Chains A and B, each alone.
Chain A
Amino acid sequence: MKRVTVAVLAAVVAAALIGMLAYGLDAREVDLSIEQALARGERPTAPSRELAVLDAAPATRSVSDLRGKVVVLNFWASWCGPCEAEAPVLDRAQERLERAAAGTVLGVTRDDSTPDSLKFVREHDVTYPSVRDVDTKLARDYASRNVPETFVIDARGRIAAARRGAVDEAWMDEALAKVLP
């Protein structure tokens, strides 16, 4: 009887360990739900969090604050080469959105220190505001694992286009065409 109890206990412990391993492996899988929704022609709701403004903490800003406006949400970091390359494209998008009074580009820095981010802003004449995603919680909401990544959000707070990697003029034109009147 005791032997049976020990065997059952060992089996339960082994099953629990295997279960945790499977959960861990599953958690590491790439989440493509945003891309899949866009491919089906849907516009998933854009996640939002209050984050500190890069050069004006403790002031905060979020995607929800910008409801009614188009938002080009761009995850970036100062040490990222492709982020440098795409900065002029984002600046032009900002100019276009401001001129039309239609919205803004909102940068989100991650895995980057404040002084490094500010240096990047100065050196590349970045004109759009940025917030700091210190704990990468917003990045996780967008299943973002790398920089740069860009999401174009319509005035109703829904994701209309997503790019994992650097954006270029052609992609930005096409994405903005989906959300601008």
Chain B
Amino acid sequence: MRRSGLLLALVAVLLCLTAAPATAQRAALPDIEDEVMCVSCEIPLNVAESAQADKQRDLIRALIAQGRGKEQIKAALVAEYGEDVLALPDRSGFGITAYAIPLALMALLAGGLVVLLPRWRRRTPAGIGVAAAPELSDFEARRLDDELERYER
């Protein structure tokens, strides 16, 4: 009786675990709205107030109602409105600077660290941060020996 109860509980837990990802993947309008652009107003859809933005939201709601996932909905939006619907900078022209500048800055930073770190190390005085052991008095040395002897017995 007890075993069958445990088995039932285990099955229930397993069912919850398998059902959880499906629930987590279910798309929601606010979750998509902040990752796509209102194509006519060129601002994120979640802050856009226009007739075109409303039509775009209607389309997203319809796709959610069809049970489509977030990535599927974004792909459908690209098919309808083009790449500009994704809240990403252009991959050509001026937009490429949005990708190039962070990479250039990271390379510059890495280069700077490669050059400067060895210098900083050389400048650091040897042994800094390691406290020198204090000298023991005769009394302390004798006491330490006694303690060690007692410990070894």
Q: Are A134 and B94 in contact (CB under 8 A)?
A: no
Q: Are B94 and A136 in contact (CB under 8 A)?
A: no
Q: Are A111 and B40 in contact (CB under 8 A)?
A: yes
Chain B, interface SS category: helix
Q: Are A77 and B59 in contact (CB under 8 A)?
A: no
Q: Quick one: which of A27, A111, A113 contacts B93, CB cutoff 8 A? A: A27
Sorting the interface of chain B by its residue count into under 10, 10 to 19, 20 to 34 or 35 or more gives 20 to 34
Q: How far is the CA of A13 from the CA of B109 in the complex (A)?
A: 13
B97 at the interface (CB under 8 A from A): yes
Q: How far is the CA of A79 from the CA of B52 in the complex (A)?
A: 6
Q: How far is the CA of A115 from the CA of B93 in the complex (A)?
A: 32
Give every chain A residue within 8 A of B50 (Cβ-Cβ): 79
Minimum distance in angstroms from B49 CB to a CB of chain A: 13
Q: How far is the CA of A116 from the CA of B81 in the complex (A)?
A: 12
Given A20-B97, A24-B94, A27-B93, residue A135 in contact with residue B55 (CB < 8 A): no
Q: Quick one: which of B55, B81, B84, B93 contacts A78, CB cutoff 8 A? A: B55
Chain A residues within 8 Å of B, Cβ to Cβ? 13, 17, 20, 23-24, 27, 77-81, 111-116, 134-136
Chain B residues within 8 Å of A, Cβ to Cβ? 39-40, 50-52, 54-56, 59, 79-84, 93-94, 97, 101, 108
